[in-house]
Amino acid sequence: MLTSPPLFTGEVDASLAKQTEGARMWYRVMLKGENFVMKLSGKQTVHGFYTTRYVEATSEDDAEMKAVELIREDNYLRERVRNPKSDPPMIYLEEIEVLSSHSGEAGSGYSFYSDDD
């Protein structure tokens, strides 16, 4: 996950995002996944996760959509998710932040937790 402190927080984020609306900026997007029926360690159970992705986008909404798309396209998850269509997994935005600069890496990995009721 993120190893350095946030570059902007709170009202500064919103102010910077408003000033640069329409311009391409880097965003740190923290997502939460819930209700992922997966077979991990040989046993099929319900899991949730947290993950962070870095995306270049024109707005916070655009950044959220791009980060979620990265998760949906991730072969690691696609190969393991076993949800029926009637009970889909969900991905939620936890936190988003405008960055002043970024190395270009999209981010990877997940912090899984058991989501069994």
Amino acid 21: pLDDT: 59
Could you tell me the sign of the dihedral formed by the alpha carbons of 93, 21, 69, 41, in that order? negative
60-96 pLDDT, tens digit each: 999 999 999 999 999 999 999 999 999 999 999 999 9
Q: Which of 67, 71, 58 is nearest to 96 (CA)?
A: 67
13-58 pLDDT, tens digit each: 555 555 555 688 999 999 999 999 998 778 899 999 999 999 999 9
Amino acid 102: pLDDT: 78
The model's pTM = 0.76
Radius of gyration of the chain (CA): 16
